Amino acid sequence: MKIISGPASKELAEKVSELTGFQNVPVSAKIFPDGESYVRLEGNVQGEEVAIVQTTCPPMQDGRLMQLAFMADAAKRAGATKVTAITPYLAYARQDKMFLSGEGISVETVARMLKAAGVDEFLTVNIHSEAALAKFPFPAKTVSAIPLIADYFVKKGYKGAFALSPDKGAMYIAQQAQQVLGGDVGHLSKTRDRYTGQTVQTAEGLNVQDQTVIILDDIISTGGTIVGAAKILREQGAKHVFCGCVHGLLIGDAEKRILDAGVEEIVGTDSVPGAVSKVSLAPLISQTLKGAP
Ligand code: R5P
């Protein structure tokens, strides 16, 4: 197998190559003056199975999706026998059903587009809803980075911290963290208005008095969910509040608003390279590629 370094995940792809021993294929990329994307594989993939590592987080998530499709097409045209797309953050994954009449299911459209481009298999990390993968037109799998994030906090001395999910649906995330942290686990309740996007959070029956609490979520976008959760935790007497997320998009001033709300540290992964991407997905992706349990 060879690892193709997508322009959006060059460092991560190089780490995966190092850990797996699979040869790295660099990619040259440019954006034309009119905004269109261009990619070119700079290595031989004839007769090889390839894995393209390319995240599709903002900025430019549409462009990054197109780059992924173009790399898959280029690999197939250059004679690759199988193309696996490794897309740590999958754009449009949250539109995984028709919430209102007249909508489409964006994540399925994206998957079909990738299939048409030449993708044969797909790997992502903590997709918002695993059920969406069942509708993909190729074998598709999601793996969880939550144990790695929890381990980051253990190494910082927070073994025994309370693992909190900001809503009931993400409770499985808090439970995965709890397995590593060894403390208590719980969740807030969150309801979202589908027209305005506004959310309301409540904390029935939660006891976090004097506890160190780590809020865990798959995605931080505007930061509203974490800001709301942090305020509730402070009101409930939590001693320390941290936040761990897989995909730290941190749109606009989200990072500042979260820290201003009393969160002491935000920890994300390199699915979204940036200031909070303190945990690398390279070991997880490498183990998965090597077929480790
Ligand atoms: C939603 O259910 C997700 O798990 C996240 O909680 C959500 O996407 C975060 O969005 P925001 O940061 O804008 O509140």
189 or 229: whose pLDDT is higher?
Answer: 229
**Pair 26, 45: CB distance under 8 Å:** no
Q: Which pLDDT value is given to residue 48?
A: 98
User: Does pLDDT of 23 surpass 60?
Assistant: yes
Task: Let me know whether 168 and 257 are in one domain.
Answer: yes
Please tell me whether residues 91 and 29 are part of one structural domain: yes
Q: What is the pLDDT of residues 105-131, one digit of tens each?
A: 999 999 999 999 999 999 999 999 899
Q: Could you tell which of 95, 128, 191, 220 is best to mutate to test the pocket of ligand 1, judged by most ligand atoms within 8 Å of the CB?
A: 220
Asked if residue 158 and residue 168 are part of one domain, the reply reads yes
| Residue 167, number of CB atoms within 10 A of its CB | 18
Provide the whole-model pTM: 0.95
Residues 96 and 201 in one domain: no
**Does 293 score more than 90 pLDDT?**
no
The per-residue pLDDT for 184 is 96
Residues 85, 64, 35, 115, CA torsion sign: positive
190 classed as catalytic: yes
Is 182 within a domain? yes
Ligand 1 atom at minimum distance from 170 CA: 4
Determine the straight-line distance between the first and last CA of the chain, rounded to whole angstroms. 19
Residues with CB under 6 A from ligand 1: 166, 170, 217-225
Amino acid at the residue 142:
T
pLDDT at 194 over 80: no
Query: What pLDDT is recorded for position 292?
Result: 65
User: Does the pLDDT of residue 195 top 90, yes or no?
Assistant: no
pLDDT digits (tens, 9 = 90+) for 263-283: 999 999 999 999 999 999 999
Give the residue-averaged pLDDT of 237-246.
98
Q: Name which residue sits closest to atom 8 of ligand 1, judged by CA.
A: 219
Please check whether residue 275 lies inside any domain of the structure.
no
177 and 63 together in one domain: no
Domain match, 107 and 152 both: no
Question: Which pLDDT score is estimated for 196?
Answer: 82
119: nearest Cα among 29, 54, 194: 54
**Is 244 domain-assigned?**
yes
Encode pLDDT of 134-184 as tens digits.
999 999 999 999 999 999 999 999 999 999 999 998 899 999 999 999 999
> Does residue 32 form part of some domain?
yes
- Asked if residue 51 has pLDDT above 60, the reply is yes
Instruction: Please check whether residue 16 lies inside any domain of the structure.
Output: yes
18 assigned to some structural domain: yes
Rounded distance from Cα 166 to ligand 1 centre (Å): 9
Grade residue 190 by pLDDT with cuts at 50, 70 and 90: confident
204 vs 188: CA distance, rounded Å = 7
Task: List all residues 6 or more positions away from 250 whose beta carbon is below 8 Å from its beta carbon.
Answer: 220, 223, 266, 268, 272, 274, 275, 276
- Say if residue 34 is in the same domain as residue 48: yes
**122 and 214 in one domain?**
no
CA 126/CA 289 separation, integer angstroms:
16
Are 137 and 206 in the same domain? no
| pLDDT surpassing 80 at residue 25 | yes
CB hemisphere CA count around 274 (13 angstroms): 18
- Give the type of residue at 123: L
As a whole number, mean pLDDT of residues 64-74 equals 98
Instruction: Identify whether 276 is part of a domain.
Output: no
3-class DSSP state of 249? coil
For the chain, what is the domain count?
2
Look at residue 242 and tell me if it is in a domain: yes
Which pLDDT score, from 0 to 100, does residue 203 have? 85
Residue 111 sits in the same domain as residue 205: no
Domain boundaries, position 253: 146-270
Residues 153 and 54 in one domain: no
In our burial notation (b when 16+ CB lie closer than 10 A, e otherwise), range 48-66 reads bbbbbbbbbbeebbebbbb
Which is higher by pLDDT, 64 or 205?
64
> Are 31 and 77 contained in the same domain?
yes
The domain spanning residue 254 has which CATH number?
Answer: 3.40.50.2020
